[in-house]
Structure 1
Amino acid sequence: MVDLFDIRKEYTQGRLDEQTAAKDPMTQFHAWFEAYRETLPVEPTIMTVASVDAEGQPWQRILLLKAYDEQGFVFFTNYESNKGQHFANNARASIHFFWIGQERQIQVQGIVTKMTRAEAESYFHSRPRESQLGAWASKQSRPLANRAELEANFAAVKEAYEGKDVPLPDYWGGYRLVPERVEFWQGGEHRLHDRIEYRRNGREWLQQRLNP
């Protein structure tokens, strides 16, 4: 066993309490997201997305948040990927943000719903052309013999669409995670962290402090 017991850090960047927290989680998320962006992070939209397969095994991967509003959190992917297959069988999912510079975490649980094709078209055509081509070249999550096969697929797609607009693949689009529970975590000294939980209650949100 590699002993990591001596790696310790005190969290002293801030506090979060019921008086300063917003009344709804999306307002609170926006405030924290904007504060994080001001620190010039390398990639402020990085998040972990968790899904569950047909055997009940949880999976996680890093994706990029592409939009958010009062309805939830938006990301895009291949519908035939592992996560796409998971969501088709079990729409419950979770996302997690860890903004270590400010000693903050946000976890969200809820239901994933597909974006409309028009919404997917709008985002797809905003991407760099090479990324659009990559969506056609990669059969995401399926076995691949080697890197050369992937590069050959990309070259073939690039040639096929030379001088043409790259269309949105039928198997590619967006998801919105509609939150049912959101928790904000602010690191605290002596591991006395601040945790504020929001749970949806109809059209309202119930707020509760949790033990660290």
Structure 2
Amino acid sequence: MADREGIFAGDDPFAIARSWLAEAETSEPNDHTAMALATVDGDGMPDTRMVLLKDIDGNGLDGSFVFYTNYESAKGAQITATGKAAFVIHWKSLRRQIRVRGTVTREDGEQADAYYASRALQSRLGAWASKQSHPLESRAALVAAAAKQGVIHGTNPRRPPFWGGFRITPVQMEFWADGAFRLHDRFRWDKQETAWSVTRLSP
């Protein structure tokens, strides 16, 4: 598309996403990888929460976005049931956002092990201790559970079998940038069999 220039230029949406994320790392004061993840429950009721993007893997038609969580959490159960999710990353400092809709698979192998091992020890023990999204008696009970896991697993805990990654493979992506007088720029990328198609959208 002739007018897709500057920050929107290129034939690979994952290259654009990486470029924007790198810019946000230097300009966003906190959590430049934060994204609002949307899922639905068994009744079709939508659910949204913030998670942290940890990897943008691959290129072209084979790229994906990876985050990590407890598989037994509400979002984990909802994703497992539907195999689908959406997210948006918004950077106020850049006045830009990326929206993604796609299918989801587990990242449950060596990449998940490596990321888990890179976390602080207390975070690794916390993953063992927290029954994420389930009722909790008190914060003191959570702290005690984490301390107990430290006794059980020591200083080099393995990754819990109920904790790992989810890989979102987009079927659609949208890149948005703020424009003067609310005349924003929006480009939607739709995945086809052999290429991405790109459409400029009205703001």
Query: TM-score, normalised to structure 2's length?
Result: 0.91
1:189 aligned partner: 180
Is 1:206 aligned with 2:190? no
Contact 2:28/2:92, CA 8 A, preserved across alignment? no
Task: Give the distance between the partners of 1:209 and 1:40, measured in 2 at CA.
Answer: 27
Contact 1:96/1:108, CA 8 A, preserved across alignment? yes
Structure 2, gaps ≥5 residues long: none
1:73 aligned partner: 65
Contact 1:23/1:207, CA 8 A, preserved across alignment? no
1:83 aligned partner: 75
Residue 120 of structure 1, CA deviation: 1.3
Structure 1, gaps ≥5 residues long: 1-16
Name whichever structure is richer in helix by fraction.
Answer: 2
Is 1:129 aligned with 2:115? no
Is 1:113 aligned with 2:105? yes
Q: Which residue identity does 1:169 align to in structure 2?
A: P
Task: Give the distance between the partners of 1:114 and 1:52, measured in 2 at CA.
Answer: 17
Q: 1:180 aligns with which of 152, 171, 182?
A: 171
| Deviation by residue 1:146-171 (Cα, 9 ceiling, x = unmatched) | 11211111121122233x42011110
Is 1:102 aligned with 2:94? yes
Residue 40 of structure 1, CA deviation: 5.2
Report the secondary structure of 2:68's partner residue.
strand
Q: Which residue identity does 1:43 align to in structure 2?
A: D
2:12 aligned partner: 24
Task: Give the distance between the partners of 1:19 and 1:146, measured in 2 at CA.
Answer: 53
1:5 aligned partner: none
Task: Give the distance between the partners of 2:44 and 2:177, measured in 1 at CA.
Answer: 30
Contact 1:50/1:59, CA 8 A, preserved across alignment? yes
Is 1:166 aligned with 2:157? yes
2:24 aligned partner: 36
| Deviation by residue 1:80-135 (Cα, 9 ceiling, x = unmatched) | 00011001111110111100111111100001111132221111111111100000
Q: Which residue identity does 2:34 align to in structure 1?
A: I
Q: What is the RMSD computed on CA atoms of the aligned residues?
A: 1.3
Report the secondary structure of 2:97's partner residue.
strand
- The aligned length equals 195
| Deviation by residue 1:57-89 (Cα, 9 ceiling, x = unmatched) | 111111111110222101010000001100111
Task: Give the distance between the partners of 1:133 and 1:107, measured in 2 at CA.
Answer: 33
Larger Rg: 1
Task: Give the distance between the partners of 2:26 and 2:184, measured in 1 at CA.
Answer: 23
Contact 1:36/1:44, CA 8 A, preserved across alignment? yes
Residue 23 of structure 1, CA deviation: 1.8
Q: Which residue identity does 1:67 align to in structure 2?
A: D
Residue identity (%):
39
Residue 47 of structure 1, CA deviation: 0.9
Task: Give the distance between the partners of 1:31 and 1:149, measured in 2 at CA.
Answer: 42
